[in-house]
Amino acid sequence: MERHGYGPTRWSFRQRPDKASTPRTGAPSPRTRQGPESEVELAWVALWERIVSGPSREVGPGDEAAILACERWRRKERGERNGMWKKLKTMNFRSSADAAEWNRLTAGIRRGVPGPIRGSVWYACSGAAVTRHKARVSYAELVERGLALNNEATTVIEVDLPRTGVGEEQIGKLRRVLRAFAAKNPAIGYCQSMNFITKALLLYNEEERTFWILCSLIEDVLPAGYYTPTMAGLRSDLRLLDSLIGQYLPTLKAHLTRCGIDLAPITMNWFLCLFVNTLPAEQSHRVLDCLLHEGPKVLFRAALAILHLREAELRKVGAVVDAYMILRVPFGASAGDEGSPAAAGPPNDLLSDMYGLWLKGLSTDRLFQLREGHLAGVRVEDEAHAARKEAWRKSQQEAKQREAEAAA
Helix (H) or strand (E) holding 406: helix 364-407
70 and 161 share one domain: no
Shared domain check, 125 and 35: yes
6 is a domain residue? no
Q: Which of 192, 221, 250 is the last residue of a domain?
A: 221
Q: Is 192 inside any structural domain?
A: yes
Q: Residues 284, 285, 287, 291: is their CA dihedral positive or negative?
A: positive
Q: Residues 319, 255: one domain? A: yes
Q: Which bin fits 363, alpha (ψ -120 to 50), beta or left (φ > 0)?
A: beta
Dist CA 282 CA 348 (whole Å) = 10
Residue 243 and residue 150 share a domain: no
Are 110 and 195 contained in the same domain? no
Task: Compute how many other C-beta atoms are within 10 angstroms of the C-beta atom of residue 38.
Answer: 16
Whole-angstrom distance, CA of residue 353 vs CA of residue 248: 12
Do 324 and 266 form a contact (C-beta atoms < 8 A)? yes
Furthest C-alpha separation in the chain: 90
193 inside domain: yes
Q: Which of helix, strand or coil describes residue 33?
A: coil
> Is residue 382 in a domain?
no
- H helix intervals, 79-193: 96-111, 115-126, 128-134, 139-148, 152-160, 168-184
Same domain, 62 and 116: yes
Q: What angle do CA 224, 213, 337 make, to 5 degrees?
A: 95
Per-residue model confidence as pLDDT tens digits over 110-121: 888 888 888 988
Q: Looking at residue 173, which CATH number applies to its domain?
A: 1.10.8.270
Residue 350 near residue 283, CB atoms below 8 Å: yes
Shared-domain flag, residues 107 and 36: yes
Contact 249, 307 (CB under 8 A): yes
| Distance, CA of 49 to CA of 70 (rounded, Å) | 9
In a domain, 392, yes or no: no
Question: Whole-structure pTM over 0.75, yes or no?
Answer: yes
Helix (H) or strand (E) holding 214: helix 207-216
d(CA 214, CA 288): 12
Same domain, 151 and 277: no
CA distance 226 to 44: 32
Q: What is the dihedral of CA 36, 27, 212, 282, to 10 degrees?
A: 60
Asked which of 92, 108, 134 is the last residue of a domain, the reply is 134
Identify whether 388 is part of a domain.
no
Residues 149 and 250 grouped into a single domain: no
pLDDT tens-place values along the chain, 408 residues long: 333 322 222 223 333 334 444 444 333 333 344 444 556 566 666 666 666 554 444 433 455 666 666 666 566 555 544 433 333 333 333 444 466 777 788 888 888 888 888 898 899 888 898 899 889 899 999 999 999 999 999 999 999 999 999 988 899 999 999 999 999 999 999 999 999 999 999 999 999 999 999 999 999 999 989 999 889 999 999 999 999 999 999 999 999 999 999 999 999 999 999 999 999 998 999 999 999 999 999 999 999 999 999 999 999 999 999 999 999 888 865 544 444 343 333 445 899 999 999 998 898 888 988 988 888 888 888 777 778 877 888 888 878 888 877 877
- CATH code: domain of residue 258: 1.10.472.80
Residue 32, C-beta contacts closer than 8 angstroms, at least 6 positions apart: none
- For 127: left if phi > 0, alpha if psi spans -120 to 50, otherwise beta; the answer is left
Whether residue 393 is contained in a domain is answered as no
Q: How many CA atoms lie within 13 A of 364 on its CB side?
A: 21
State the CB neighbour count (10 A cutoff) for residue 53.
18
Nearest alpha-carbon partner for 31 in 21, 19, 42: 42
Count of Cβ atoms closer than 10 Å to residue 129 Cβ: 25
Question: Is 239 in the same domain as 359?
Answer: yes
Cβ-count burial 17-32 (b if 16+ within 10 Å, e if not): bbebbbbeeebeebee
CA nearest to 48, candidates 67, 32, 34: 67
DSSP 281-312: HHHHHHHHHHHHHH-THHHHHHHHHHHHHTHH
* CA separation for the pair 309, 128 (Å, rounded): 33
243 shares its domain with 341: yes
In a domain, 374, yes or no: no
Tens digits of per-residue pLDDT, 335-394?
Answer: 444 443 433 334 458 999 999 999 988 988 889 889 888 888 888 887 777 788 778 888
| Domain stop point among 221, 248, 270 | 221
Residues 175 and 254 placed together within one structural domain of the fold: no
Give the list of residues 6+ apart from residue 191 with CB closer than 8 angstroms, or none: 226, 227, 272
Tally of domains within the chain? 3
Domain hosting 328: range is: 232-368
